[in-house]
Amino acid sequence: MGLRALFLLFSLAAAALAAEQQQPPQRPALPPPSAGGAGAPGVSSNSVLVALLDSRYTELAELVEKALLLQALEDAVGRGSVTILAPRNEALDRDLDPEFRRFLLEPRNLRALQSLLLFHVLPARVHLSPSASISHQTLAGEPLELAAAAVTRPDAVVRPDGVIHGIERLLVPRSVQEAFNRRRSLAAISAVLPTGAPEVDPRTHRLKKPAPPVPLGAPPALPVWDAMAPGPSIAPAPAPGPGSGKHHFDGHSQVKDFIQTLLLYGGYNELADILVNLTSLATEMGRLVSEGYVLTVLAPNDEAMARLTTDQLSEPGSPEDILYYHMIPEYQTEESMYNAVRRFGKVRYDTLRLPHKVTAREADGSVKFGAGEGSAYLFDPDIYTDGRISVQGIDAVLLPPAEDGGQSPAAAAAPARRAPAVTGATAKPKLRRGKLLEGACQFMGVFVRRSRFASCQ
């Protein structure tokens, strides 16, 4: 019996060993697949977070991703059910204050954006009834009181680990609102210029009263001569001068427009060449108009500019001095000047060439500028008027009187002329360009390089 039992046990062991060798090896158990939209293991595809990312509340889902809150919400779902209050897309896009939205999306305000979004998440499943109101603690750490009337789509999405309710507007916690108000107040006061210490009037020993605020569009407080750049002997280009700094007007565009008007009008090409190419007066005029000053330009026509001699343009700065004498720091039209000379007989206008003034009087039904033979008549009225710059065409170049009070040599040698008719229907003179500038460049080349002027090349 012992031998048969031993043989039977040996046979059973061999059969078991053969059966084990024929079976394939078993694989270890794998963890459950992660949710496609959640990103971390442990969140199933039926989670409320996946439903939020695939729901109609796309603006809220994008803000959650920008605030880097997916991991925090996954941890909250792992601890229990949650309730998400989702504002409609219009409340986060069109109805939201653009300044507040810009504040939330700034990288330095990431904590405020996270607090705002967590304020819409409740760490429990809450079902709303038509007559109930919510008073519950949120994931942001601040309590929330929400009436059922503010919920537009109750139980919009229901999942085993949470529920989503659609609400009408964005809920802003008190901490985020205070941070936004604080940042907006700092931005408002940062643009205020610091004021200096109070000054004491030495005559009265009292504090000097600050100057009243300048209303919008008011003329500058400084006279125009203080805002002008230094002369060509000091600085070859316009230097920044004192001004109000308000820059309510686009002076450079206005100067460009009036120069183009001169070229299209015809007969004033020499003046346009000198303003743009031979001098920097066009830039200077644009800066003055931008600071709020007004100008009236007495523009000599091409025939008048051709009567200038090369000796009058050979001295450094002489083109600027001549043109400054033709600029009046007032806004005058042909009608206003004619009414003034008819009423007062003789009117003296300040010019940008201190201390000289130009005299205007009524003669032959027109306005006559200057005195004696070196005078000019208002030839083409109101060539350009835009409220800041007025251009009046004259038929001669005005030269200031000599230092001794008499006439300048150029004015004394000028031939006698009669008052021309105002060119309303008369033909314009033939366009000529560059004749005076070519003669001036030959003499100006001694003092400046020709490569600086486009027309001298």
CA separation, residue 114 to residues 59, 97, 122, 141, 214 (Å): 15, 18, 14, 12, 44
- Which strand (E) or helix (H) includes residue 75? helix 70-79
| pLDDT digit string, tens, across residues 293-316 | 899 999 999 999 988 888 887 788
| pLDDT digit string, tens, across residues 76-101 | 888 888 999 999 888 888 778 888 88
Residue 7 has pLDDT above 80, yes or no: no
Residue 18 has pLDDT above 60, yes or no: no
Contacts of 69 (CB under 8 A, 6+ apart): 114, 117, 118
| pLDDT digit string, tens, across residues 59-77 | 999 999 989 998 999 888 8
pLDDT of the residue at 3: 52
CA separation, residue 248 to residues 218, 251, 332, 333, 354 (Å): 10, 9, 21, 22, 27
Spatial separation of the C-alpha atoms in residues 77 and 49, rounded to whole Å = 8
pLDDT of the residue at 277: 86
Contacts 24+ apart (CB under 8 A), 141-145: 142/173, 142/174, 142/175, 144/119, 144/171
* Residue among 261, 217, 220 nearest 382 (CA): 261
Q: Hey, is 226 helix, strand or coil? A: helix
Lookup result for tokens 């305000």: 109
pLDDT of the residue at 300: 94
3-state helix, strand, coil in the chain (%, to 5): 40, 15, 45
* Residue among 144, 149, 86 nearest 117 (CA): 86
Helix (H), strand (E), coil (C) string for 180-208:
HHHHHHHHHHCCCCCCCCCCEECCCCEEC
Cis status of the peptide bond prior to 194, with omega within 30 of 0: no
pLDDT of the residue at 2: 55
- Which strand (E) or helix (H) includes residue 235? none
Could you tell me what percent of the chain has a pLDDT over 70? 69
Out of 3.30.1330.10, 3.10.580.10, 3.40.50.920, 2.30.180.10, the CATH code matching 251-394 is 2.30.180.10
Which of 22-31, 125-134, 278-287 has the highest average model confidence (pLDDT)? 278-287
Which of 178-187, 246-255, 387-396 has the highest average model confidence (pLDDT)? 387-396
Residue extent(s) of CATH 2.30.180.10 domains in the chain: 48-180, 251-394
Predicted confidence band of residue 439 (pLDDT cuts 50, 70, 90): low
pLDDT of the residue at 368: 94
pLDDT of the residue at 94: 79
Residue 427 has pLDDT above 70, yes or no: no
Helix (H), strand (E), coil (C) string for 339-388:
HHHHHHCEEEEECCCCCCEEEEEEECCEEEECCCCCCEEEEEEEEEECCC
* Residue among 291, 441, 419 nearest 365 (CA): 419
Mean pLDDT for the chain overall: 76
Write the class of the CATH domain 48-180: mainly beta
Spatial separation of the C-alpha atoms in residues 166 and 156, rounded to whole Å = 6
Please report the sign of the dihedral spanned by the C-alpha atoms of residue 429, residue 435, residue 440, residue 441.
positive
pLDDT of the residue at 128: 72
| pLDDT digit string, tens, across residues 134-190 | 678 889 888 888 775 578 888 888 998 899 988 888 888 989 988 888 877 765 555
* Number of CB atoms found within 10 A of residue 216's CB: 7
E strands in 226-337: 295-300, 327-328
The DSSP secondary-structure symbol of 278 reads I
